[in-house]
């Protein structure tokens, strides 16, 4: 979110541009705000075209700037890509579009939100004349109202110290409290949890969708008393690290951190992982217009940068040429490496988009009931 100080700086610059204050006054004012230097670049930036990319904070802010923003800016002189870490939730995008004052160009959203918001006519459709469908590994990564420059997966992670004779390898094992006793960790979100429950019910992972919502909810209800639920990535990491849960379904990026810091004590399995696209969406009426489509196209079409992001943050590349570029030691942690992708399930964003609102409300009712 923009800080009050940032707003002061913007206000001062606006006044200067309109000639309401002299350069000397401006400099004095900026110095008082502690941002005196860098004025020249800001002034120059005002002449440039600017795109605003919105992420969820943390090191994503830095990483997206480096691997998405910078390559595009250096290929297109006069364009600047700035990062905003407000967290573009569906509700925030909706209120921004409906207020008619759209300041965001490209938002790190999700397949579900892209269907939800797209259905409400709040998003700009992807122009597939500019963005190339061939730049992604599968159809779930290029949707009508969003496309995915990265992928992630909900994987099963477990504490090897608790299971010296071999840990759980599938969602059926996850549900087996007798063979693998202990507290489970699930996300307080139907998407991911119900997919796993459906697999635990024995449905063929290659033919998983549509999910039987009622049966999957009942399956989660079975183990509800033995579960804790996470709502943020860092929280999921903490639950496993501190032994609050012996196994869990968490994002592969967090599983990687746990596995590396514990020297393999916390292991994750790709088998039946739920592979999802990291969908970026454009709010309807985004200020950058078509330029944002070109930025998105560059994000999808740049395998080197995607591999860089994998090494830096852990997000899996989605460009078909990327997997071969991944250094050997990172392949184990790449969700879209052919070896790993083969055993996972590609989540059906369309099905979830149509069913998310109701299924998630029912899921949360069940979890908190």
Partner 1 sequence: MAAAAQRQTGWWLLILPAFLLMTAFYVAPILQVLAISFTEPQPGLQNYERLFTSESVQRVIGTTLRICLITTALALLLGYALAYRIALAEERVRRWWILAVLVPLWISVLVRAFAWVTLLRRQGLVNQALLETGVIAEPLQLVWNEFGIVVGMVHYMVPYAVLPMLASMREIDPRLLAAARGLGASRFTVFARVFLPLSAPGLIAAGVLVFIFSLGFYITPAILGGGKTLMVAEWIGLQILDLIRWGLGTMMATVLVVAILTTLAIFSRAVDLRRLFGSGA
Query: Is residue 92 near partner 1 by the rule CB under 8 A?
Result: yes
3-state helix, strand, coil in the chain (%, to 5): 50, 20, 30
CA dist 305 and 300 (Å) reads: 9
Q: What is the signed CA dihedral for 174, 176, 180, 183, rounded to 10 degrees? A: 60
Q: Would you say 170 or 238 has its CB closer to partner 1?
A: 238
Applying CB under 8 A, among 61, 62, 76, 89 the residue interacting with partner 1 is 89
Tokens standing for residue 46? 């005002």
Applying CB under 8 A, among 90, 220, 269, 295 the residue interacting with partner 1 is 90
Query: Is residue 97 near partner 1 by the rule CB under 8 A?
Result: no
Query: Is residue 99 near partner 1 by the rule CB under 8 A?
Result: no
Query: Is residue 242 near partner 1 by the rule CB under 8 A?
Result: yes
Q: Would you say 91 or 327 has its CB closer to partner 1?
A: 91
Q: What are phi and psi of 269, to 5 degrees?
A: -120, 135
Query: Is residue 222 near partner 1 by the rule CB under 8 A?
Result: no
Applying CB under 8 A, among 157, 274, 310, 367 the residue interacting with partner 1 is 367
CA dist 166 and 174 (Å) reads: 13
Applying CB under 8 A, among 3, 99, 165, 368 the residue interacting with partner 1 is 368
What residues between 175 and 214 interact with partner 1 by CB under 8 A?
188
Q: Would you say 91 or 338 has its CB closer to partner 1?
A: 91
Tokens standing for residue 336? 């879209």
Region binding partner 1 by CB under 8 A among candidate stretches 7-15, 41-49, 83-91, 277-285:
83-91
CA–centroid distance for 9 within its chain: 31
CA 313 to each of CA 186, 295, 308: distance values in angstroms, whole numbers, following the listed order = 22, 20, 8
Radius of gyration over alpha carbons of the chain, in Å? 22
Query: Is residue 244 near partner 1 by the rule CB under 8 A?
Result: yes
Applying CB under 8 A, among 42, 94, 203, 350 the residue interacting with partner 1 is 94
Query: Is residue 266 near partner 1 by the rule CB under 8 A?
Result: no
Query: Counting Cβ atoms within 10 Å, is residue 369 exposed (0-12), middle (13-18) or buried (19+)?
Result: exposed
Q: Which residues bind partner 1 (CB under 8 A)?
A: 89-92, 94, 116-117, 120, 188, 227-231, 242-244, 357, 360-361, 364-365, 367-369
């Amino acid at each position: 979110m923009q800080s009050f100080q940032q707003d002061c700086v913007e206000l001062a610059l606006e006044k200067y541009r309109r000639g309401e204050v002299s350069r000397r006054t401006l400099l004095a004012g900026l110095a008082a705000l502690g941002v005196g230097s860098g004025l020249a670049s800001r002034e120059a930036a005002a002449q440039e075209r600017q795109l605003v990319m919105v992420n969820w904070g943390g090191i994503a802010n830095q990483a997206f700037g480096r691997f998405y923003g910078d390559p595009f800016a250096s290929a297109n002189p006069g364009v600047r890509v700035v990062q905003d870490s407000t967290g573009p939730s569906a509700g925030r995008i909706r209120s921004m579009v409906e207020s008619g004052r759209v300041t965001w160009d490209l938002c790190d959203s999700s397949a579900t939100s892209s269907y939800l918001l797209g259905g409400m006519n709040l998003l700009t459709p992807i122009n597939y004349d500019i963005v190339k469908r061939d730049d992604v590994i599968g159809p779930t990564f290029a949707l009508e109202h969003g496309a995915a420059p990265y992928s992630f997966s909900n994987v099963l992670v477990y504490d090897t110290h608790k299971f010296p004779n071999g840990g759980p390898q599938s969602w059926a094992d996850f549900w087996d409290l007798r063979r693998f006793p202990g507290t489970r960790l699930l996300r307080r979100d139907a998407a991911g949890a119900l997919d796993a429950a459906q697999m635990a019910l024995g449905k063929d992972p290659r033919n998983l969708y549509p999910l039987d919502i009622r049966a999957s909810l009942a399956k989660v209800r079975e183990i509800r008393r033995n579960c804790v639920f996470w709502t943020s990535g860092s929280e999921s990491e903490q639950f496993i690290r501190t032994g609050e849960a012996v196994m869990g379904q968490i994002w592969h990026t967090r599983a990687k951190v746990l596995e590396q810091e514990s020297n393999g004590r916390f292991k994750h399995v790709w088998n039946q992982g739920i592979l999802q696209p990291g969908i970026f969406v454009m709010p309807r009426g985004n200020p950058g217009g078509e330029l944002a489509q070109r930025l998105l196209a560059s994000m999808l079409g740049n395998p080197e940068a995607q591999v860089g992001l994998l090494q830096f943050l852990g997000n899996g590349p989605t460009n078909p040429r990327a997997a071969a570029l991944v250094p050997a030691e990172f392949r184990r942690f790449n969700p879209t490496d052919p070896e790993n992708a083969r055993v996972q399930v590609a989540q059906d964003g369309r099905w979830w988009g149509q069913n998310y609102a109701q299924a998630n409300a029912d899921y949360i009712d069940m979890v908190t009931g």
